[in-house]
Structures are given as C-alpha cells and as structure tokens.
Amino acid sequence: MSEFYILLLFIIIAAVVAVETKNLLSSVICVGAIGFGGSLMFLFLRAPDIAITQIVVEVLGLIILIRATISRDRTFITGDREFFGMVVSIVVIFVIFLAGIKVFETLPDFGTAIFSKVPEAASQTYISEGLAKTGAANIVTSVILDFRAYDTLGEATVLFTSIIGATVILRRKPKKLLEEMDQ
C-alpha cells in the first residue's frame, strides 16, 4: 500500500508546482508528471486497460501542450491575488473537502471491489456471465462495447462533435477569405 502514498505525494507535489510555477513550459511538464503518476497507480491497481489509455493520451496531450506553449511570447504570468477571491476559493475547497469525506465513507476500501460492499452490484453479473454472453475474453471490452455500449456511443459522439467544431473554427480557408475581404 505504501507505493500508493508515495505516488500520491508525488502527484500532489507536481500539482502544486504546476499551479504555482511562473514558467508555462515547466507547468505543462508538471501536468505530464501528474498523468504519468496516475497511469502508474492504475497499473498497480491491476487495471491495464485504463493504464494504457492514460499513458497514451498523456503522451499525446503533452506533445500538443508543449508545441502550443513552447513558442508563445508570454510565458510568464504575473499579478497579485485578490483577497476576496482567495477567501471564497478557500471556503469552497473546504466545503468540497467536507463533502468528500462524507462521500468516501460510503465507498469500499481503496483497492477492493464494489461488490464486497454491495453484493447485488451489476459488476458481478458482468464478471460471471461476460464471457458466456459476449464471447470477449477481456471483460472491460465486453462491458464498454456490449453491456454499456450506449456509454461508448455517447463518448464517440462527444469526441466527434468537438473535433468537427474545432476543425471548423480553426480551419485555414475562412481566414484567407477574411484577408481578401480586408484587401
């Protein structure tokens, strides 16, 4: 269990550095360190599907962020904090912390399955009948593409819509048209 606390400490330190540092590039690298720490935690919890996805998305996102920030002129962020804003944010964080304690009391212990506390949970049905009903040896795939395929459809729709929107907004042609209109 101790490796989780070491990793958790590492992640918290990286998160604090990512928020507090003045340099944009080192902030991005700290965000990457958080992601790799999370990926290692998934690996220790024996969830290789999530670990693969996390590490791959982290690498790609880090490349995008570094390419986006490395040539920006304004890499330094300055300015003082507002007193009122700081008080409000501390109060909000404290309230969320108290609510989080209440929520985590209802969850089973870290690293144990949910059906140790709720015997009639749906996950037990997936584990016992997943292979017979779907024929997929990987239970995670049989859940996300058969039992819970609607979730995957929603996720694919979100990705599709957001990428269509980004491509339309950032494409090259309308800028050329605007430049011609200016001339």
Specify whether the CB–CB gap between 141 and 133 falls below 8 A: no
Of 23 and 53, which CB lies nearer to other proteins in the complex structure? Answer: 53
Binding flag, residue 167, other proteins (CB under 8 A):
yes
Q: Which residues pair with 76 in a beta bridge?
A: 23
Cβ proximity to other proteins: between 73 and 120 the closer is 73
- The answer to the question of residue 117 lying near other proteins (CB under 8 A) is no
CA dist 63 and 134 (Å) reads 37
Q: Is 76 helix (H, G, I), strand (E, B) or coil?
A: strand
**Taking the alpha carbons of 144, 58, 108, 112 in that order, is the dihedral positive or negative?**
positive
Which residue in 32, 8, 31 sits closest to 20, CA to CA?
Answer: 31
Q: Kindly state whether residue 144 participates in binding other proteins, applying the rule CB under 8 A.
A: yes
Three-state secondary structure string covering 21-62:
CCEHHHHHHHHHHHHHHHHHHHHHCCCHHHHHHHHHHHHHHH
Q: Of 50-58, 82-90, 106-114, 118-126, which part binds other proteins (CB under 8 A)? A: 50-58
Which of 82/155 has CB closer to other proteins? 155
Q: If binding is defined by CB under 8 A, does position 49 make contact with other proteins?
A: yes
Q: How far is the CB of 79 from other proteins (least distance, A)?
A: 24
Rounded Cα distance, 113 and 48, in Å: 16
User: Does position 146 bind other proteins by CB under 8 A?
Assistant: yes
Which one of 16-24, 108-116, 117-125, 165-173 is the stretch in contact with other proteins (CB under 8 A)? Answer: 165-173
Q: How far apart are CA 59 and CA 36, in angstroms?
A: 9
Question: Could you tell me the smallest distance in angstroms from the CB atom of residue 175 to other proteins?
Answer: 6
Judged by the rule CB under 8 A, the positions of this chain that interact with other proteins are 48-49, 51-53, 56-57, 59-60, 63-64, 67-68, 70-71, 131, 133-138, 140-142, 144-146, 149-150, 152-153, 156-157, 159-160, 163, 166-167, 170-172, 175
